[in-house]
Amino acid sequence: MRSMDTRGLHYIVEASGCDPQILEDVNKLKEILINAAKVGKMDIRSVHLYKFSPRGISGLVIVSSSHISIHTWPEHGYAAIDVYICGQGSNPEEAIQYILQSIKAKHAHITEIERGIMDEEGLYTHTILSWDEIPK
């Protein structure tokens, strides 16, 4: 059995100015997350969404190389999005852009964390890069 590389990219996205109707539509968000995984060339293993009362949804798509998740606050037009991918072959940034466009985000603050980096002493660490963008 071959060992998988420990390195992965974890994107943390703060999406502002999103369409509140989309953020509280569990069926629409499920469709968006599934399509984002496909756009990002990720192999879907499991999908689960939960609708809170009175508002808000948490959703998770488990993919072969990790996950995509979203947590929404429709009353604030805000969504917290995570995309974590290990290995090669997928395109997490395409998945993120698809989600941002689909929820009609007006602004996004994105943090990219490269995780699972082994240092000289054999300990694991990570690096962090952040930027702001206005989705296309």
User: For the whole model, what pTM was predicted?
Assistant: 0.92
Which of 67, 71, 76, 107 does the annotation list as catalytic? 71
What is the mean pLDDT of the segment spanning 70-96? 95
Active site residue 102: no
Residue 66 among the catalytic residues: yes
**pLDDT value, residue 135:** 80
Distances (CA, A) of 28 to 20, 58, 66, 98: 12, 13, 22, 13
Top pLDDT among 3 and 73 is at 73
Q: Is 71 a catalytic residue?
A: yes
Break the chain into its structural domains and give their ranges: 8-133
- Architecture of the domain spanning 8-133: 4-Layer Sandwich (3.60)
pLDDT at 44 over 90: yes
CA within 13 Å, CB half, 102: 21
